[in-house]
Structure 1
Amino acid sequence: MKTIILQEPGNFKQTDKEFDFSLQPDEALLKVHRIGICGTDLHAYAGEQPFFSYPRILGHELGVEVVEIGDEVDNVSVGDRCSVEPYRYNPEDQAVQQGKPNCAEHMSVLGVHEDGGMREYFKFPAKFLHCSDQLSYEQLALVEPLGIGCHAVNRANITSEDRVLVIGAGPIGLGALQFALDTGAKVAIMEIDKGRMAFCRQSFDLVGGINPREEDASDQLRALFDGDLPSVVLDATGNKKSMETAIDLVAHGGKLVYIGLFQGDVTFHDPDFHKKELTLMASRNALASDFTQIIRSVEEGRIDTDPWITHRTSFENMIDQFDSWLDPKSNVIKAMVEVC
């Protein structure tokens, strides 16, 4: 079976790997058609990904076909096209019992803690599959990255009355942007990369864009929001400085949501935090209900995935292309690998 393995940082290897096709009663055998490349994959390749060990088969943004099912599977059928919810968890965990499996204490993420989908076939519990007879494999592969932003917006309980700032226009930030707009809120983007800023202005109905390197960010926000600061700030950068200074951009009584993460400590001036009576949140992964919401939104045309995919390559050529996607000059938003 054709497989791409990340042997160590900076070193992919394509090989023919033996595979046991037998299924557990709750599993489905999945044929991989599309693999989205995300920041997790890029950071793993660069040796900068937390919670990671090598060698590893990457790939958790997947558009797959069900080719066989176990005896106890009743939620999918052979031939179904599916997105994969890639977060395997212990159902006995406290968070899972409270309806929060996305942040279970004992979790294994496909392509991070266990081998993922950069191969022709793999097996996974069928309960984590989300099907659509309308969406393409590429659209299904985009559901998971959209889910990260969707979950953050849902977690912040954003409504049409909010004024929202999304910091960072990478794929995760773009997902947050789309679902914040879907609430009817007024939304702005903060981004220092001119190419990504242009993409946002062209693709979304924003109140405006902010580059903090050009002038004071608070002044720019107040100009966009009729003198006010945003009631919700979603930081999708995973950048220490951005995450620490984001507290200055939230309105009194507002919410700050950290979507991105990095390996380090976040600190801020406590009096500034307290005087605003801020709500500080972390947002991790996504829920099954987020996957359902996204698929329905794309099917109904409320979310347009067409602008997202800026780069495509075949499974055979991916290794040669991967280095270029780390270069900001490539202007990659989302690279998609075509397996078959």
Structure 2
Amino acid sequence: MKQYLMTEPGKIETLDVAVPGDLKDNEVLLEIQRIGICGSDIHVYHGKHPFTSYPVVQGHEYSGKVIKVGNAVTKVKPGMKATARPQLVCGQCNPCKRGQYNVCQQLKVQGFQAPGCASEYFIVTEERILPLPEELSYEQGALVEPAAVAAHATNRVADLTGKNVVVSGAGTIGNLVAQFAVARGAAKVLITDFSDFRLGIAGICGVHEVANLKTEKFSDAVSRTFGAAGFQIGFEAVGAQSALNALVGNIENGGSIVIIGVYEQHPVVDMGFVGEHELNLFGSMMYKQEDYVEAIKYIAENRINTSALITNHFPAEGFLAAYKMIDQEADKVLKVMIDMK
């Protein structure tokens, strides 16, 4: 089978490797159908992901067709559509024991610290697999992973019902976070970015208000959207110092900010200001199984729009071309899909 290996930043080789053979009792063999490229993959492409070494097989947002199952597998059967969490955890550390395996102290993520799914066939274990409703497309299935990130992030804070929310960054994750905030009953959701293209897609997806920070100050956009009520919840989905500063400096006293973005450089936070205004800063790391379940449910119920996010398709041999296109046309691209079949 074909496998796509990033041997060093900016270089991908196509390998011919053996199709996986006999399965363990708890294993499932998937024929990979679609793989989504995300911002973290781009960090790896540029050699700037802080926790990835080379060579590495990428791919962690995916959908596939079940081909074969181990003797003890009951969740899925051959012919079904499925996806799976890419987290490999120890099960023994304190976070794992208390159910926070998403922050396992020995966490490895397939596509980064362990081989990902950029192969024609891929083995996953039953405890990480999730069957997809037959009515979902393989494209929707590949977007369950980023939707699960958004599901988890929007559950990191208290009930969003009736709250005013700002999301910094209208990329795929920011868009999905904003959609989940709307779906969870937020009063108003404002999403900010520097790209009219991305903000336009956010509008298509039902986000209440948008602001292009090239032409409008953050504080002005907040005032225009919320008036004197301000906002109580912020989500930082960019990984940029300026976005973090804007949220910290403008949120209501006592408000909560969730950090989702991946920072290439360590940001500086005025902790004196945070303490004086009793702000709450929350980290959000990936997801758990229940977040995947919720993401699938919301997508299947059309409460989350994924089709509007897909802007480009490339064949399996086009990984490198896809990365180059994303670099060259960043402000015109949202979710790029690799069609493995």
Tell me the TM-score normalized by structure 1: 0.95
Q: Secondary structure at the match of 2:50?
A: coil
Q: Is residue 167 of structure 2 the alignment partner of residue 166 of structure 1?
A: yes
- Greater mean alpha carbon deviation, residues 242-251 or residues 50-59: 242-251
Residue 228 of structure 2 corresponds to 227
Q: Is the 8 A contact 1:233 1:255 kept in 2?
A: yes
In the TM superposition, what whole-angstrom CA distance separates every residue of 1:274-327 from its partner, at most 9, and x where no partner exists? 222111100010111111111111112212211011101111333333311122
Residue 175 of structure 1 corresponds to 176
Residue 238 of structure 1 corresponds to 239
Please list every run of at least 4 consecutive aligned residues from structure 1 whose deviation after the TM superposition is greater than 6 angstroms.
Answer: none
Q: Is the 8 A contact 1:150 1:179 kept in 2?
A: yes
In the TM superposition, what whole-angstrom CA distance separates every residue of 1:152-199 from its partner, at most 9, and x where no partner exists? 001123422110000001111111011001012110011112221222
The structure 1 residue matched to 2:193, chosen from 187, 191, 194, is 191
Query: Which structure 2 segments of 5+ residues have no match?
Result: none
Q: Secondary structure at the match of 1:302?
A: coil
CA distance in 1, matches of 2:322, 2:224: 42
Q: Is residue 214 of structure 2 the alignment partner of residue 201 of structure 1?
A: no
Q: Is the 8 A contact 2:179 2:207 kept in 1?
A: no
Correspondence list, 1:292-307, <5 A: 292-307=293-308
Q: Is residue 17 of structure 2 the alignment partner of residue 17 of structure 1?
A: yes
Q: Is the 8 A contact 1:50 1:262 kept in 2?
A: no
Residue 152 of structure 2 corresponds to 151
CA distance in 1, matches of 2:62, 2:194: 29
Task: Calculate the aligned-residue CA RMSD, in Å.
Answer: 1.6
Q: Which amino acid aligns with 1:318?
A: F
Query: Which structure 1 segments of 5+ residues have no match?
Result: none
CA distance in 2, matches of 1:218, 1:233: 13
Q: Is the 8 A contact 1:201 1:209 kept in 2?
A: yes
Distance 1:151 1:335, change over 3 A: same
CA distance in 2, matches of 1:13, 1:235: 35
Post-superposition offset of 1:330: 6.0
Q: Secondary structure at the match of 2:155?
A: helix
Residue 277 of structure 1 corresponds to 278
Percent identical among aligned pairs is: 29
CA distance in 2, matches of 1:304, 1:209: 17
Q: Which amino acid aligns with 1:111?
A: G
Post-superposition offset of 1:79: 1.6
Post-superposition offset of 1:19: 4.0
Distance 1:72 1:329, change over 3 A: closer
Q: Is the 8 A contact 1:62 1:140 kept in 2?
A: yes
Residue 115 of structure 1 corresponds to 115
Tell me the TM-score normalized by structure 2: 0.95
Q: Is residue 230 of structure 2 the alignment partner of residue 211 of structure 1?
A: no
Q: Is residue 271 of structure 2 the alignment partner of residue 258 of structure 1?
A: no
CA distance in 2, matches of 1:322, 1:329: 10
CA distance in 2, matches of 1:45, 1:173: 21
Q: Secondary structure at the match of 1:326?
A: helix
Residue 323 of structure 2 corresponds to 322
- Greater mean alpha carbon deviation, residues 60-69 or residues 17-26: 17-26
Q: Is the 8 A contact 1:57 1:115 kept in 2?
A: yes
Distance 1:140 1:278, change over 3 A: same
